[in-house]
Amino acid sequence: MAKKVMGTFKLQLKAGEATMAPPVGPAFGQRGLPGMEFVKQFNAKSAKQPGMILPVLVTFFSDKSFTFEIKSPPASILLIKATGVAKGSAQSNRDKVGKVTRAQLAEIAKIKMQDLNCHTEESAVKMIAGTARSMGITVDG
Amino acid sequence: MATRYVLLTLSLPEEEMDLALGVLSGYPLIGIEQGTDEFTICFEQNDWQADYAETIVAEMIDMGLSVVFAGLKTEEDQNWNAEWEASIDPVIVNDRIVIVPEWRAAEFDHPLTLIITPKMSFGTGHHATTRMMCILMEKHVDVDDVWVDVGTGTGVLAILAAKLGATDVFAFDNNEWSIANSIENVTRNNVHNIVRVEHVELQDVALPSCNGLAANLYRHLVIPFASAFIRAVEPGGTILVSGILKYDKDDVSAPFLSHGCTIVESLAETEWCAIAFRTPEASS
């Protein structure tokens, strides 16, 4: 008999640094899932993206097994990394904290394409540019 | 076991989550559990400052986000894994090796019955990386050997080394739960005169000279410490590495091969691999 999907949950975790501390321990523990195995797998699979916060979608099954999918990093964090700003501007209309080039936007759009609801790279670039403006990051060119 | 955690819960529309993460990335958080229009941000209490909740909410509101404070609580460290651990089945590695929780031990008479009752530590045999290490150790541990187990978890590999005839095994980990749990398991298996467990970070440990070293870790820990492992192991000795994804095998092997080690064998199961290296006969 095929195992039954019991549910999903979403975490945001630092690449390569997951432990059984919250949120991983309680999220897996309360569902009776083997959190230690998740830690092993997530760290192995995310270690090449140090410093990134990565969204993870966990699906768990009736036999206490699970699968997970690591999504692309949030656009805001990719923009912070690309521009070197400490964080977004609190007054993004007035105070500009940095600049991002079209080429950098295209790079970020490529990374995000798989998770964005966009059919073309151009629409993904527009979406990332919107995030940049909300953070007080000016699009150059 | 005195670690405490601070959990800050905020309400926020899911579509604003991306921008909120841009704000949160500037704080020393452990991670976030994301619900429907609500997320809980987790900090170690030692990293938490009293004004964080107010500051984080204020920064998000200034960015135009529709955030609302929804709760703040502290949580004691505990064995989050307990429910799963209470339900585990024994793992039969091969004809000789079985890994079994204490309450099922009487059912097995394998020559190498490893009694492992886990307590939020890795190494029950349910994961391929541990099973492959057991198979490699069975081939490579000799009677009267000295072995080192790097990142011992439940202590399962150190205990196996002792049961295979090693007379001195040094096991260490940086995790407090692992230290407590491996000591319990070492006692359960009656190898406490052979296995010595220490709570120490990999970068701080003084590795003893040994015949073999087992490291079920991660690529980003094995690669930078490969030369330290090679220095600790005698010429012609064995280094067993696991916790490696198959497509990382070449990257992980490179520092060992560049120091004159050879690959004796490697095993693979699903997407994981384990590698046995022989250290060079003469030091390079």
Segment A1-10, tens digit of pLDDT:
678 999 999 9
Number of Cβ atoms within 10 Å of the Cβ of B23? 23
Q: Which two tokens stand for residue B32?
A: 């976030």
Whether residue A116 has pLDDT greater than 80: no
A32 by Cβ neighbours in 10 Å (0-12 / 13-18 / 19+) ranks as middle
Q: Are B31 and A23 in contact (CB under 8 A)?
A: yes
Distance between CA atoms of residues B279 and B266, nearest Å = 15
- Whether cis (ω within 30° of 0) applies to the bond prior to A23 is yes
The parts of chain B modelled with pLDDT lower than 70 are 1, 283-284
Residue of A nearest to B74 (CA): A22
Q: Which two tokens stand for residue B112?
A: 């190498």
Strand partners, A140: A101
What domains are defined for chain B? Answer: 4-83 (3.30.70.100), 122-278 (3.40.50.150)
Segment B259-268, tens digit of pLDDT:
999 999 999 9
Query: For residue B218, what pLDDT is reported?
Result: 94
Instruction: Identify the DSSP state of B274.
Output: E
A30 to chain B: which residues are within 8 Å by CB? 83
Distance between CA atoms of residues B92 and B178, nearest Å = 23
Query: For residue A88, what pLDDT is reported?
Result: 67
Task: Identify which of A18, A37, A134 has the shortest CB distance to residue B126.
Answer: A37
Mean pLDDT of all residues in A98-115: 86
pLDDT band at A84 (very low <50, low <70, confident <90, very high): confident
A136 against A4, higher pLDDT: A4
Q: At what angle do helices B17-24 and A75-83 cross, to 10 degrees?
A: 40
Distance between CA atoms of residues B182 and B196, nearest Å = 10
Query: For residue A1, what pLDDT is reported?
Result: 63
Q: Scanning the structure block, which residue is given the tokens 């490579």? A: B140
Q: What does the buried/exposed string (b/e) look like for B133-167 if buried means 16 or more CB atoms within 10 Å of the residue's CB?
A: bbbbbbebbeeebbbbbbbbbbbbbbbbbbbbebe
Is residue A129 less than 8 Å (CB to CB) from chain B? Answer: no
Mean pLDDT of all residues in A81-88: 79
Q: Are B159 and B187 in contact (CB under 8 A)?
A: no
Query: For residue B284, what pLDDT is reported?
Result: 47
Task: Identify which of B18, B64, B83 has the shortest CB distance to residue A76.
Answer: B18
Distance between CA atoms of residues B63 and A76, nearest Å = 12
Q: Are A79 and A131 in contact (CB under 8 A)?
A: yes
Is residue B30 less than 8 Å (CB to CB) from chain A? Answer: yes
Q: Are B21 and A12 in contact (CB under 8 A)?
A: yes
The complex scores an ipTM of 0.91
Q: Indicate the length of chain B as a whole number.
A: 284
Task: Identify which of B7, B77, B81 has the shortest CB distance to residue A29.
Answer: B81
pTM of the model: 0.90
Query: For residue A97, what pLDDT is reported?
Result: 77
| Phi, psi for A35 (deg, rounded to 5) | -60, -35
Distance between CA atoms of residues A126 and A102, nearest Å = 10
State whether A37 and B81 contact (CB < 8 Å): no
B149 against A95, higher pLDDT: B149
The SS3 of residue B57 is helix
Whether residue A87 has pLDDT greater than 90: no
Min CA distance, A13 vs chain B (Å)?
5
pLDDT band at A139 (very low <50, low <70, confident <90, very high): confident
Min CA distance, B100 vs chain A (Å)?
16
